Amino acid sequence: MTPKTIAFQGRPGAYSDLACRTARPGWKTLPCKTFADTITAVHEGKADQAMLACENSLAGRVPDIHTLLPNAGLHIVGEHFQRVEHCLMAIHGAQLEDIKRVHTHPVAMGQIHTLLKTYNFTPVIEFDTAGAAELVALWNKKEEAAVASELAAELNGLNILKRNVEDAAHNTTRFYIAARTTDRLSVNTPDVMTTVLF
């Protein structure tokens, strides 16, 4: 039986990818460049569902999703809460004392002030967390590190130097899971939440 596919915005190893793998174990994940591309992938049948980040406990709501959803033509069929656990990663053989620069997404950079200050790392903004991990693997230099998910380290062959480098332990992202169709649930179905867009 062919596994179902769930699309997400970001590079392989992004927190959205991790959310897909956690919420839909055994499904294939499909990375997309933008949220709009993620929605289109479902409409075109390339994916059965989409994992769409809607808010983060530290950074607040994700404006793009709330702009796109009213006209997306998809049904919200579930939600998922993903704990964000930032890892400091570098190439194998690199030690903490070798690191000079830390690359990551601007939102993640805003969540690791203690790490940057403690080790006097130079922050470098990249387009996303998993993309930063890809770049560090590509450059293959001991002085470059990324902050991303454990999954990003695994997919890019990087070594995790420190785990949970985020300033706040409650850092969590909420996702909508969307699909072309929805099952009509019984009125007795427990733990159902209704989302209204207006």
Residue bearing the bigger pLDDT, 132 or 188: 132
Q: Tell me which of 173, 181, 189, 194 is the catalytic residue.
A: 173
pLDDT given for residue 145 in this prediction: 98
Put residue 44 in one of left, alpha, beta given phi > 0 → left and psi -120 to 50 → alpha: alpha
Is 130:17 a contact under the CB 8 Å cutoff? yes
Low-confidence winner among 33-42, 92-101, 182-191 (lowest mean pLDDT): 182-191
Which CATH homologous superfamily contains domain 87-162?
Answer: Periplasmic binding protein-like II (3.40.190.10)
When computed from its CA atoms, the radius of gyration of the chain, rounded to whole angstroms, is 18
Q: Tell me which of 38, 81, 175, 195 is the catalytic residue.
A: 175
Which of 162, 141, 161 lies closest to 95 in space, CA to CA?
Answer: 161
Predicted model pTM: 0.88
Over residues 5-28, mean pLDDT: 97
Domain residue ranges in the chain: 5-83+171-179, 87-162
Going by C-beta distance under 8 Å and a sequence separation of 6 or more, which residues neighbour residue 83? 171, 172
**One-letter amino acid for residue 59 of the chain:** A
Is 134:17 a contact under the CB 8 Å cutoff? no
Vertex 48 angle, CA 9 and 152, to 5°: 35
Fold equal for 5-83+171-179 and 87-162: yes
pLDDT in tens, 49-62: 999 999 988 878 88
What DSSP letter does each residue of 94-151 carry, written as one string? --GGG--EEEE-HHHHTT-HHHHHHHTPEEEE-S-HHHHHHHHHHHT-TTEEEEE-HH
Residue with tokens 């997400």: 8
Task: Name the CATH topology of 5-83+171-179.
Answer: D-Maltodextrin-Binding Protein; domain 2 (3.40.190)
pLDDT in tens, 110-153: 999 999 999 999 999 998 999 999 999 999 999 999 999 999 99
Q: Is 173 a catalytic residue?
A: yes
Q: Is 198 a catalytic residue?
A: no
